[in-house]
Structure 1
Amino acid sequence: MKFKNQFTLLTITLMLWSVNLMAQEKVDLNMVYKIKSEGIGNSQIQDLSFHLTDYLGPRLSGSTNLRNARNWAVDKFRDWGLSNVRIDSYGDFGRGWNVKKSYIAMKEPYYAQVIGYPKAWTDGTAGLLDTEVMLLEISTADDFVKYKGKLKGKVVITPANLTNNPAFEAEAKRLTDQELEDRKVINIGGGGGRYTPEMLAQLRAERDLDQRLTAFLLEEEVGLRLTGTRGSFGTVFHTRAGSFSKEKNKTVPEMEISSEHHGRIYRLLKNGKSVKIEAEIEVEWLDDDYSGYNVLAEIPGTDKNLKPEIVMLGAHLDSWHAGTGGNDNAAGVAVMMEAIRILKALNYQPKRTIRIALWGEEEQGLFGSRGYVQKYVADRNSKEKKAEWDKISAYYNLDNGSGKIRGIYLEGNDQLVPVFEKWFEPFHDMGAKTITLRNTGSTDHVAFEAVGVPGFQFIQDPIDYGKGYHTNMDVYERMQLSDMTQAAVIIASMIYHTDQRPEKLPRKPWD
């Protein structure tokens, strides 16, 4: 009974603390109205989205198009009157790479175009290939012997476990009320890992065999390797074959082709029919600059005591190379650019400095955001704190497509629950009200969280994000412009209220 009474007292104390803290948080509804009016009435989302996709094209890490995108963003920020606009090097990245020409078609047993794209950082072919395709069925190390000396200049294909089952669910979806409620639940302990020891051993064996196959194909001077990818209806999920490393290791020319076209070629060969392919890949390596870069711009703070502090927002500017990076992540870039444009258009004079960052090379391992944090904020390994560590109040990120914002992940920071519940109140009618303590990963906010600086990613409607990102179909047509308008308004308000707060947002311990 004593324990029960203590627990009840603790619960009441926490509730009173939460209510008291929420009462202290202020929402400037007049400013929210102005933000909504500017963001909805004069939205630049459509124009920004067009330029980031159709005009600038794919923005692979280190590529010419990414360099062009950085320059375009700088010009746009300067046109809007932002300050301290700059392209800032965070350190080394590696080699840039461009596709100059890509073509593939089946010539026999009949002519048919093939949907395919070179893997990133692959070497080009030795001109136009016009040759038979050879099926390689290698499941053990002993299988290499039967192909030795037979593959020079040939196109090769390997089996793939690709199935295209009918889709009985809707192509796109929004999060239901129940799904949003479920996001609030924190699972504790007990589950174990995703993979059993046996599964991990099998994955390691498959990886080792594939590495040996790659080395074998290089030795045999194969002309081109074809790889099938997951997806359907001509969607090609792309990865990389080579490396952006300055070591300049040679790679086998490699194309990823749609699962349907991979399946056709495989079945023809498996049934003893001859297949001929005509293909060519021409690439360009950029060895003039191995550095990686972020684009930074600001609205300077005006409060004499608070202006050294910083409120940050950002998104990654790079994409993969077959589509135009619409949802991953032109959408996030357009929304964040629009959010800071709204505040600037309202002639807002912030207390703290508001800084936007368009990150480079996120797709290859969060290079841009981690490089920025290492350079200016803190060393996550040694825990050395640098100049900006105690100045940044928060970093807000957007990188889950173009769907509506439905809430925010608080990365386990209980102190922030009443703060964000209050700040989200004006946007309940826009469908945004879920505050969860859950963590979410795999994008640029984790670089800040890793060093104890509050970093946030928003809960978003997935729409069809999972089917299109990292593919040839991640293009302008997949972007939800009205949802992005909603997101820009909400983020502009979050930035405003973070800036207006007397103190920086409370942090979790990091020592």
Structure 2
Amino acid sequence: MFKKSFTLFLVLFISFSSLAQEKIDYQVMQRIKREGLENSKVMEYLSFLTDIYSPRLAGSNQYREAGKWVVNKLTELGLQNSKMEPFGTLGRGWELKKFYFAMTEPQYMPIIGYPKAWTSGFNGMIEGSPVLMDIKKEEDLQQFKGKLKNAIVFMQGEQEVTTSFETEAKRYTEEDLKNLQMLPEPGGRSPFANRMEEFIARNRLRQSISAFLEQEGAAVTVEPAQGRFGTIFVSSGGSYRKGSPNPIPQVVMAVEHYNRIVRILKQNIPVKLEMEYQANFVDSDSLGYNIIAEIPGTDKKLKDEIVMLGGHFDTWHAGTGATDNSSGCAVALEAVRILKAIGVQPRRTIRIAMWDAEEVGLIGSREYVKNHFFDRDKKEKKPDYDKFSAYFNYDNGTGKIRGIYTQGNEAVASIFEEWLKPFHNLGATTVTVRNTGGTDHQSFDGVGLPGFQFIQDEINYDARTHHSNMDVYDLAMRGDLMQSAVIMAAFVYNAAMRDEKLPRKYFDPNEERPRRPRF
């Protein structure tokens, strides 16, 4: 009994001691709040990144032009060593130059549609009747042999479109946040494994269909979008890799327009379509570029240590990348503006990064980590590995910060709980040891470095804006982004000022870890 009581006392003593040692400068926190909430520039930055310098597909000229603007802005704000840093060969870019699509018979209808990135365009206007081809298995292809020369091929049948009676935009409830703090139940087959098997099977069939269409000389393929109400979710149909084959033109169109045409065809009424599609593959510069700048550290002993913040800079092409991820870049830009505006003198160096080619496999951040911190292939630790404290990432849309994922790093949980206390009145309260994925903090976490993504309100990210033509400035939320920039600035400041680097979780460099595929 005594032994158990003493053990419990020891655990509590250590826990409370660690909390007591975590110093928070509440005056600086208040100054960060005041500057970020009263003098915010976050929407100004977002407008430049969306209205003027977007879209920014990896490898495109637009990406590089936008990068120059950010480098100049960071220099203007007083950051040092601002640059577009090449990390090696990326491949080729792709730029949409012109697109027009319409039904001309039996009635005229302008069609909402977008080509897939890294697919070929064509010269002039094409006209014709669509061929409906709904393939469920490879054997079904033979019925179309000899019938697809120069055809506009509709790839699926009529799609079900449902009306939702639930609110599209959502915020976390207190119950949701409480559940996030709980670890998921262990055991059972991973849903990811099931999804991966389905993905592999679909991809194999898709490759067979693509090869057949190429062989038969189809002019263009058309697919119904996953979104509703004119929203189109679209990404790539080809590869950024230099030397990859140029696939035939591929277009995604609004499901409501798609279904109308399919229903007309089922009535045996002729349909005529016309389309113009011009696109360029960009081979002039095959390098990839991350955008980097610093607020140098001032402490003699700690100035060479590094605290990082950022998000990915590349976007998809249908919208202007407002919530994925111009919002994250604007928040990071605003966070360093706040810190410069209030005149902080960080003990450690604060380094902002905006990553290239996240959308095609976290490439920019992974190559940066490989070049500066740890090479996973060679299992080689770089000199800055031991100087690194933390990386804070923002890439889950426009929603405000509600807390932070620790990626299983239990040692930082109590620290982050203290850091969030000044922002409870702004809605940020939750620390969870759960993992979250799909973005650039994983590049750091994957080599044992503390890398974190904030918990953000979803708003309508998955339902409306993520990778869609509706990813635009008007659907970004000013108050949420202002709050996020304030908390980002505070976390970076605290990490830069504390006596010790943030604690790390266990990492075995010899352990094989899954990697996100490159597309």
Q: TM-score range by the shorter chain?
A: over 0.9
Alpha-carbon spacing, 1:78–1:224, altered in 2? closer, same or farther (3 Å): same
Q: 1:86 aligns with which of 83, 97, 106?
A: 83
Matches within 5 A, 1:9-408: 9-160=6-157, 162-194=159-191, 204-408=200-404
Note the C-alpha offset of 1:163: 2.6
Structure 1 runs, 4 residues or longer, greater than 6 Å off: none
Q: Distance in 1 between matches of 2:47 and 2:193?
A: 46
Q: Distance in 1 between matches of 2:141 and 2:418?
A: 64
Q: Distance in 2 between matches of 1:39 and 1:206?
A: 47
Q: Aligned-pair RMSD on alpha carbons? A: 1.6
> What one-letter code is carried by the residue in structure 1 that aligns with 2:83?
R
Per-residue displacement from partner, 1:215-234 (whole Å, max 9, x unpaired)?
11111221111011211000
Any stretches of 5+ residues in structure 1 without a counterpart?
A: none
Per-residue displacement from partner, 1:149-189 (whole Å, max 9, x unpaired)?
22111101021573321111112111100100000001242
2:517: which partner in 1? none
Q: 2:449 aligns with which of 441, 453, 477?
A: 453
Per-residue displacement from partner, 1:237-280 (whole Å, max 9, x unpaired)?
00211111111402110101111111112222233222111001
**8 Å CA contact retained: 2:171, 2:457:** yes
Q: Distance in 1 between matches of 2:107 and 2:214?
A: 29
State which drifts further: 340-349 or 160-169.
Answer: 160-169
**8 Å CA contact retained: 2:158, 2:263:** no
2:475: which partner in 1? 478
> What one-letter code is carried by the residue in structure 2 that aligns with 1:63?
S
**8 Å CA contact retained: 2:306, 2:351:** yes
Report the count of equivalent residues. Answer: 507
Alpha-carbon spacing, 1:173–1:354, altered in 2? closer, same or farther (3 Å): same
Q: Distance in 1 between matches of 2:91 and 2:81?
A: 26
**8 Å CA contact retained: 1:326, 1:479:** yes
State which drifts further: 104-113 or 207-216.
Answer: 207-216
> What one-letter code is carried by the residue in structure 2 that aligns with 1:213?
I
Q: Distance in 2 between matches of 1:242 and 1:183?
A: 37
Q: Distance in 1 between matches of 2:120 and 2:375?
A: 36
Per-residue displacement from partner, 1:306-363 (whole Å, max 9, x unpaired)?
1110110011111100100011011110001000111111121111110000101101
Q: Distance in 2 between matches of 1:420 and 1:301?
A: 22
Q: 2:462 aligns with which of 462, 466, 471?
A: 466
After TM superposition, the score normalised by the length of structure 2 is: 0.95
**8 Å CA contact retained: 2:132, 2:157:** no
Q: Distance in 2 between matches of 1:134 and 1:161?
A: 13
Per-residue displacement from partner, 1:444-497 (whole Å, max 9, x unpaired)?
000000111100100111111112110000000110111110111111111111
Secondary structure of the residue aligned to 1:456 is strand
Q: Distance in 1 between matches of 2:478 and 2:196?
A: 42
Note the C-alpha offset of 1:384: 1.3
**8 Å CA contact retained: 2:158, 2:259:** no
> What one-letter code is carried by the residue in structure 1 that aligns with 2:272?
K
Any stretches of 5+ residues in structure 2 without a counterpart?
A: 509-519
Alpha-carbon spacing, 1:141–1:505, altered in 2? closer, same or farther (3 Å): closer
**8 Å CA contact retained: 2:118, 2:246:** no
Secondary structure of the residue aligned to 1:388 is helix
> What one-letter code is carried by the residue in structure 1 that aligns with 2:420?
F
Q: Distance in 2 between matches of 1:185 and 1:104?
A: 49
Alpha-carbon spacing, 1:474–1:508, altered in 2? closer, same or farther (3 Å): same
State which drifts further: 375-384 or 329-338.
Answer: 375-384
Q: 1:434 aligns with which of 409, 430, 435?
A: 430
